C-alpha cells in the first residue's frame, strides 16, 4: 500500500531544495545587511531563518534515508552540503538515525539516537542524586535550551555517541568541521564576524530547539509504544509509537511534513513531499495517535514508562500510583 508513494521525484526534490535554500539565503542576507547598517529590527527575522534551517534539516534527513532524490550520489552530496548549515555531520548522523529507526520503542535497545527514557521501576531503583540528574535531563530548559547547544556545538564535533573505531565516523565529523570552519572564515572576512554571528547563531539555536522538540514530541506522548524485545514489533512500534503530529498546514510545510511520523517510521523511503498524499490515500494509516499542537505542549510532563499500564506517565502520576498500591496492600485497607 505504501510502495506507490515511496518514489522520489527529481523535479519536486529540486524545487523543494531551491525554494528552501533560497529562502534561507535571502533571510540571512537581509539580516546581515540590516545589522551592517545598524538596523537591529532585522533580528525579528530570526524565527523565520530558524524555520528555514529546520526545513533544510528535514531535507538532509530525507537524503540520509535515500528518499529525497532517486540517485544515491545526489542524496549524499546534498546531505553533506546541508550538514554544513545545520552543523550536522551527514554520514555520522545517518548511521545513528538508522539505528533509531531499527530500535524505536524497544525497551531492551534504548539509547540508539533517542531521548533517554526510564521505566517507573528503573527510576525507583536509582539513588536520590541519580533521580535528580534524570529529572534535570528531562526538564524543558535542559532539553530545549542546553540540549541543542551541547548537541550541535559539542556532540557533533567528535563521534562521541558512535563507534569511535569506525574511520567513517571520524571522516564525517572532521570533514564537516573543516567545511564549517572554512565557510565561517570566508564569511567573517567578507561581511565581518559580528553581523554573521548575530544573524546565524540565534537562528541556529532556535532551529536546534525546534528540531529536538519535533523529535521529542513524536515519540514521547502518553499512549506511546515501548515493549521488551520478545514482544516488540516493528510495525506496531511505527504506528503506535510515532505520533501523527497534526499541525496547521503552514507548520507542516515548515517542518517538511515530519508530523506524519507514523508513516515515516513505517516506510522511511517515502520522501517528505509525498507524506501528506500517502496519509490521504491509505485509510489504514489514520488510526495512528493524533497529537494536536496545544495538546503536545503538555507532553513534557511525561517522564517515565509504566510497564504495567503501558503508558508514559509523569513523576506525580507514578508516585500517586505507588501510594495507591501501598494503601491497597496495607492490612485492613
d(CA 302, CA 263): 24
Place of cell 517522564: 303
Convert 185-207 to b/e letters by CB count within 10 Å (16 or more is b).
eebeeebeeebbebbbebbbbbb
9 burial level (CB within 10 Å; 0-12, 13-18, 19+) = middle
Average pLDDT along the chain, 333 residues, taken 10 residues at a time? 94 97 95 85 92 97 96 97 96 90 90 85 94 94 91 86 78 94 92 89 93 91 91 90 91 94 94 95 85 90 92 91 72 55
User: 296: how many CB neighbours lie within 10 A of its CB?
Assistant: 21
What was the pLDDT predicted at 332?
56
What was the pLDDT predicted at 67?
96
Largest CA distance in the chain: 80
Q: How far does CA 33 lie from the centroid of its chain?
A: 31
What was the pLDDT predicted at 165?
78
What was the pLDDT predicted at 120?
94
244-246 and 290-292 as β-strands: parallel, antiparallel, unpaired? parallel
Place of cell 525546534: 210
Question: Bridge partners of 291?
Answer: 245
Q: Is 310 left (phi over 0), alpha (psi -120 to 50) or beta?
A: left
What was the pLDDT predicted at 135?
94
What was the pLDDT predicted at 239?
86
Do residues 285 and 278 make contact, with C-beta atoms less than 8 angstroms apart?
yes
Amino acid at each position: 500500500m505504501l510502495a506507490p508513494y515511496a518514489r522520489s521525484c527529481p523535479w519536486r526534490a529540486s524545487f523543494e531544495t531551491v525554494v528552501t535554500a533560497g529562502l534561507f539565503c535571502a533571510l540571512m542576507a537581509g539580516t546581515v545587511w540590516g545589522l551592517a547598517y545598524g538596523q537591529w529590527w532585522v533580528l525579528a527575522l530570526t524565527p523565520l531563518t530558524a524555520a528555514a534551517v529546520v526545513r533544510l534539516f528535514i531535507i538532509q534527513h530525507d537524503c540520509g534515508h535515500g528518499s529525497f532524490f532517486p540517485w544515491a550520489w545526489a542524496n549524499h552530496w546534498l546531505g553533506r552540503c546541508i550538514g554544513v548549515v545545520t552543523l550536522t555531520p551527514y554520514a555520522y548522523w545517518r548511521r545513528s538515525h538508522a539505528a533509531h529507526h531499527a530500535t524505536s520503542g524497544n525497551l531492551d535497545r534504548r539509547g540508539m539516537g533517542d531521548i533517554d527514557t526510564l521505566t517507573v521501576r528503573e527510576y525507583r531503583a536509582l539513588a536520590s542524586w541519580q533521580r535528580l540528574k534524570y529529572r534535570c535531563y528531562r526538564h524543558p530548559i535542559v532539553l530545549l535550551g542546553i540540549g541543542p547547544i551541547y548537541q550541535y556545538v559539542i556532540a557533533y564535533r567528535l563521534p562521541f555517541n558512535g563507534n569511535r573505531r569506525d574511520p567513517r565516523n571520524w571522516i564525517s565529523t572532521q570533514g564537516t568541521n573543516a567545511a564549517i570552519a572554512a565557510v565561517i572564515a570566508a564569511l567573517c572576512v567578507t561581511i565581518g564576524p559580528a553581523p554573521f554571528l548575530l544573524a546565524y547563531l540565534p537562528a541556529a539555536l532556535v532551529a536546534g530547539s525546534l528540531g529536538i522538540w519535533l523529535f521529542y514530541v513524536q515519540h514521547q506522548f502518553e499512549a506511546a509504544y515501548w515493549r521488551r524485545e520478545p514482544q516488540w514489533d516493528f510495525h506496531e512500534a511505527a504506528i503506535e509509537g510515532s505520533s501523527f503530529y497534526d499541525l496547521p498546514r503552514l507548520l507542516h510545510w515548515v517542518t517538511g511534513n515530519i508530523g506524519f511520523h507514523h508513516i515515516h517510521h513505517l516506510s522511511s523511503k517515502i520522501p517528505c513531499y509525498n507524506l501528506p498524499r500517502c496519509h490521504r490515500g491509505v485509510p489504514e494509516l489514520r488510526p495512528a495517535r493524533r497529537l494536536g499542537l496545544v495538546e503536545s505542549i503538555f507532553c513534557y510532563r511525561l517522564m517515565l514508562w509504566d510497564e504495567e499500564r503501558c503508558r508514559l506517565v509523569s513523576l506525580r502520576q507514578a508516585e500517586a500510583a505507588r501510594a495507591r498500591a501501598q494503601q491497597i496492600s496495607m492490612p485492613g485497607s
